[in-house]
Structure 1
Amino acid sequence: MATIKFLGAAQEVTGSCHLVSAPGAGNILLDCGMHQGGDAIERLPTEQFLFEPAEIDALVLSHAHLDHSGLLPMLVHAGFNSPIYCTKATAELLEIMLDDAAGLYMRDLERENIKRERRGQPAVEALYNLDDVKKVLGLCRGIAYNQATEIKPHISVTLHDAGHILGSAIVQLDINERGQQKRVVFSGDLGKKDSPLMKDPTLLTEADVVLMESTYGNRDHRTMDDSILQLEQVLHETWEAGGNVLIPAFAVGRTQEFLFYLGRMHQEGKLDGWQIFLDSPMAIKVTKVYDRWLHTMDCEDVKALCERDRSFLKDFLPRLIASVSSEESMAINRIKSGALIIAGSGMCTGGRIRHHFKHRIWDKRTTIIFAGFQARGTLGRMLVDGMKKIKLFGDEFLVRARIETIGGFSAHAGQAALVNWSANFSNQPKIFLVHGEPEAQDALAEKLYSEKGISVTIPALRQSFAF
């Protein structure tokens, strides 16, 4: 019988990795993501492949976020050499994401080894290098949505729009196991129905096995209208107080959505005098990729830009300044008030946002806006949970800044949308909840059973099931 083994994002949100094996058909890996939180030099050695990389026949990547793709360079370094199937937009974004992550990793590793040399300690060996990143990109096979593609004899994959970020996909695997047809559906990360840039997640009706994300399984988001009003109010109050705003944002998806809403506020005269800084070289590159895919997006305002051959980055929000160099980034810290700074990383685990915290988090006029899920163990989660002191770059800082969470900007489906998506399957498949913390999964499981009569399984790490 075919089996599915849960090797990551089992009763946790990050580290997506699931192995589908079918006798006579092969081993297919769904995602190969890293866990988020902590320093990469400390974290990566703890990431272990619970399979033999050279024995994987194909990999299907749901989307480009690092918690779904970040271990791909380590995978090829360990012997993986098979095709990686994803959408063409995901392949474009993946190059930016992996190059950036590798650059940060190599720089951190170099600094760590200089320290170790001074102490007479052995150097830390790199777990992958830039050649491995190039190899990953060379293995990518971009395929269109809704197009069945044979990836092995007896196995085909169809990618459906997940509505999460550009190129994100729901994965449908069709397996012919000795004449018997079996279908596995992996939701990846499902987006919201009211996302301004993305189309609604595709509703599927037939499957034997469903792997469904459950990040927000225990709650719904505020409506988009309420969230925009909250954003407008928070920005206006901070402007009146003479402060600055810091927005930790993922380079892919969240940043572009924020730019869209800020652009619309500018068009409507609701942006006061804010100067907007996009302080992330990676997010700037990603936004240019979004420019190239404007024609695929589900938004009349953006389509109008596309028809006039104008840029999402430059024309929709003329107050925007893209800060590429470290010198440009540091110059922002000399601004006393009126700076709205969007910088990575989204969970504050690294990137330029931590440098801006150093200069502003102790100032009570500062507002920090969180607009997405903050995983356990990350600095973002600690701040959302009310931590009053943090340590950055070896120094301790008081947290006097105003902390605001605006849930409606999340790129994930909320509880009601997850219930509706799973209830759309007409043939009662076996449903596994993945990509969620235990309390969220328990709440979603109870909701599915009480409202729809659907029983689900919450797998543990390394647990395997036959189907």
Structure 2
Amino acid sequence: MAILTFLGAAQEVTGSCHELRSPALGTVLLDCGMHQGGSNVERVQRETFDFSPAGIDAVVLSHAHLDHSGMLPKLVHDGFRGPIFCAAGTADLLEVMLKDAVSIYLGDLERENLRRGRKGKDPLEPQYGEEDVETVLSLCHSVPYETKKRVGNQAWLTFHDAGHILGSAIVELHLKEKGEDKTLVFSGDLGNRNAVLMKDPATIERADVVVMESTYGDRNHKPLPDTVAELRNIITETEARGGNIMIPAFAVGRTQELLYYLGVLHQEGILDQWQVILDSPMAIEVTKVYDKWFSALDQSDIAKAAPDAQSILDDFIPRLFLAVTPEESIAVNKIVKGALIIAGSGMCTGGRIRHHFKQRIWKAENTVLFCGYQAQDTLGRLLVDGLKKVRLYDEEYVVKAHIETLGGFSAHAGQQGLIDWVTQIKGEPTVVLVHGEAGAIEALSQKLWDVAKIRAQTPCQGKSLVF
């Protein structure tokens, strides 16, 4: 008997974590992600595990995004020492992302403890540190796509390309319990079939249980040609106003996709009057990882952005400026117009984008352009929903910049893509929807019933499925 317990991303988007227990496998976590939104320090301090980390035999990681991997350092800090299985490419990204995340966390914690000290309060103890990140990286075991690996007494793991970001994987676990075969498939985050640079999500033959994300379960994305046209218009309209464009972008996946499309527009001459700035040390390092795995990317897409390209950083946009140091980032403030700034974080919860907001969000000629999902309670979501005033670094600013969103650049499958992917799996599997807000899950659940008579389960946190 196998028991799957949903510990995170159950009727919510972030914090992916599911516990699988089976005599064939032991006790394994599918992902160990952090919740996003709100204060970084408060969020980490209140994160707890509903299990003993030392009792977990292994982690199977779908990909490197922090809402799927960000609690791994705390997991090892609290006693976990088992293997972390991931697809090739993910371990390289984890090194960049987790080191950046712990640096931000410890810096924020230091500032919070200074404030607490001034108020006579006891300091907060760190929940994890840099040494825990190093331990995580030492525990990673990369497994190539389509390679069957034994991970328990009677359990085998296969990763399939999820087409979401570099190294993203659909997890297939094959269990043999008392002579009975059982197959669990965990989608991780499924890619958009129309997304560039990544290959399409792999087709799964059969399963007994399918745990599937539902981030965009209530909608389909705009056609990509329409989205590119919209991007082109936003650039030309902002240029006519004499303004600048600020793009909060996720370092992994979204930044590289944006550089691709800007490369396409560069070929058209649209960027002749623009200086493109990548102002995110982490995004720069991540793009270097993408360049390391350049041959694994979709070469037919690459040819459209830059014929004969061998590197995203060097070949897509010849005038790309990489702002690595704080001084280089501050220097961007001197550009009066024509600056197209890509900076983290993607949901505006931290990072250099907030500094650029402080300089420019109160000017009507400027544009803030969102190209990715904005979780509830994040600054990005509040701005998309029409926030009129924003508080940045203890000062309040009126939001006068144009707020724009581009829905077609999503790295997640839309509703139809999710339906197409799950309905081709044979075996009449039990389908479980996770990693989606309640409305998105409900819409997808209803659509699956209407289209394919699939009665999907939608568990809340802490619920279990026995199979």
Please report the TM-score for the alignment, with normalisation by the length of structure 2.
0.98
How many residues align? The count is 467
Partner in structure 1 of residue 466 of structure 2: 466
CA shift at 1:308, angstroms?
Answer: 5.1
Q: Which amino acid aligns with 1:126?
A: P
- Equivalent residues in 2 for 1:40-189, closer than 5 Å: 40-189=40-189
Partner in structure 2 of residue 370 of structure 1: 370
Instruction: Report the CA distance shift for 1:104/1:242 in structure 2 as closer, same or farther (over 3 A).
Output: same
Q: Does structure 1 conserve the Cα–Cα contact (< 8 Å) formed by 2:238 and 2:244?
A: yes
Q: Which amino acid aligns with 1:407?
A: G
Q: Which amino acid aligns with 1:251?
A: A
CA shift at 1:118, angstroms?
Answer: 2.8
**Structure 2: how far apart are the matches of 1:272 and 1:384?**
29
Partner in structure 1 of residue 417 of structure 2: 417
Partner in structure 2 of residue 352 of structure 1: 352
1:314 aligns with 2:314: yes
SS in 2 for 1:247: strand
Q: Does structure 2 conserve the Cα–Cα contact (< 8 Å) formed by 1:236 and 1:272?
A: no
- Equivalent residues in 2 for 1:32-43, closer than 5 Å: 32-43=32-43
**Structure 1: how far apart are the matches of 2:147 and 2:186?**
16
**Structure 1: how far apart are the matches of 2:158 and 2:301?**
30
- Equivalent residues in 2 for 1:322-337, closer than 5 Å: 322-337=322-337
- TM-superposition CA deviations, 1:153-202 (whole Å, max 9, x none): 11111000000000000000111112111111000000011111000001
Q: Does structure 1 conserve the Cα–Cα contact (< 8 Å) formed by 2:24 and 2:155?
A: no
CA RMSD, Structure 1 to Structure 2 (Å) = 1.3
CA shift at 1:391, angstroms?
Answer: 1.2
Q: Which amino acid aligns with 2:10?
A: A
**Structure 2: how far apart are the matches of 1:369 and 1:379?**
13
Structure 2 gap segments, 5+ residues each? none
**Structure 1: how far apart are the matches of 2:37 and 2:194?**
29
- Equivalent residues in 2 for 1:216-295, closer than 5 Å: 216-295=216-295
**What's the % identity of the aligned pairs?**
55
Q: Does structure 2 conserve the Cα–Cα contact (< 8 Å) formed by 1:297 and 1:303?
A: no
Structure 1 gap segments, 5+ residues each? none
Moved over 4 A (4+): 303-309
Partner in structure 2 of residue 380 of structure 1: 380
Instruction: Report the CA distance shift for 1:161/1:340 in structure 2 as closer, same or farther (over 3 A).
Output: same
Q: Which amino acid aligns with 2:429?
A: P
Q: Does structure 1 conserve the Cα–Cα contact (< 8 Å) formed by 2:174 and 2:182?
A: yes
Q: Which amino acid aligns with 2:95?
A: E
Q: Which amino acid aligns with 2:57?
A: D
Partner in structure 2 of residue 447 of structure 1: 447
**Structure 2: how far apart are the matches of 1:74 and 1:339?**
39
Q: Does structure 1 conserve the Cα–Cα contact (< 8 Å) formed by 2:221 and 2:408?
A: yes
**Structure 1: how far apart are the matches of 2:109 and 2:456?**
43
Q: Does structure 1 conserve the Cα–Cα contact (< 8 Å) formed by 2:24 and 2:176?
A: no
Q: Which amino acid aligns with 1:226?
A: D
**Structure 1: how far apart are the matches of 2:317 and 2:302?**
12
Instruction: Report the CA distance shift for 1:234/1:303 in structure 2 as closer, same or farther (over 3 A).
Output: closer
SS in 2 for 1:137: helix
- TM-superposition CA deviations, 1:72-118 (whole Å, max 9, x none): 00000010000000012000000000000001111111122222223
**Structure 1: how far apart are the matches of 2:466 and 2:315?**
53
Q: Does structure 1 conserve the Cα–Cα contact (< 8 Å) formed by 2:264 and 2:304?
A: no
CA shift at 1:204, angstroms?
Answer: 0.7
- TM-superposition CA deviations, 1:297-340 (whole Å, max 9, x none): 11325269999573210122111100000011111112111000
Q: Does structure 2 conserve the Cα–Cα contact (< 8 Å) formed by 1:430 and 1:456?
A: yes
Partner in structure 1 of residue 194 of structure 2: 194
CA shift at 1:427, angstroms?
Answer: 1.4
**Structure 1: how far apart are the matches of 2:254 and 2:348?**
14
Q: Which amino acid aligns with 2:437?
A: E
**Structure 1: how far apart are the matches of 2:303 and 2:286?**
18
Q: Which amino acid aligns with 2:451?
A: E
Q: Does structure 2 conserve the Cα–Cα contact (< 8 Å) formed by 1:374 and 1:381?
A: yes
SS in 2 for 1:457: coil
**Structure 1: how far apart are the matches of 2:30 and 2:92?**
19
Q: Does structure 1 conserve the Cα–Cα contact (< 8 Å) formed by 2:267 and 2:305?
A: no
Instruction: Report the CA distance shift for 1:153/1:303 in structure 2 as closer, same or farther (over 3 A).
Output: farther
Q: Does structure 2 conserve the Cα–Cα contact (< 8 Å) formed by 1:220 and 1:415?
A: yes
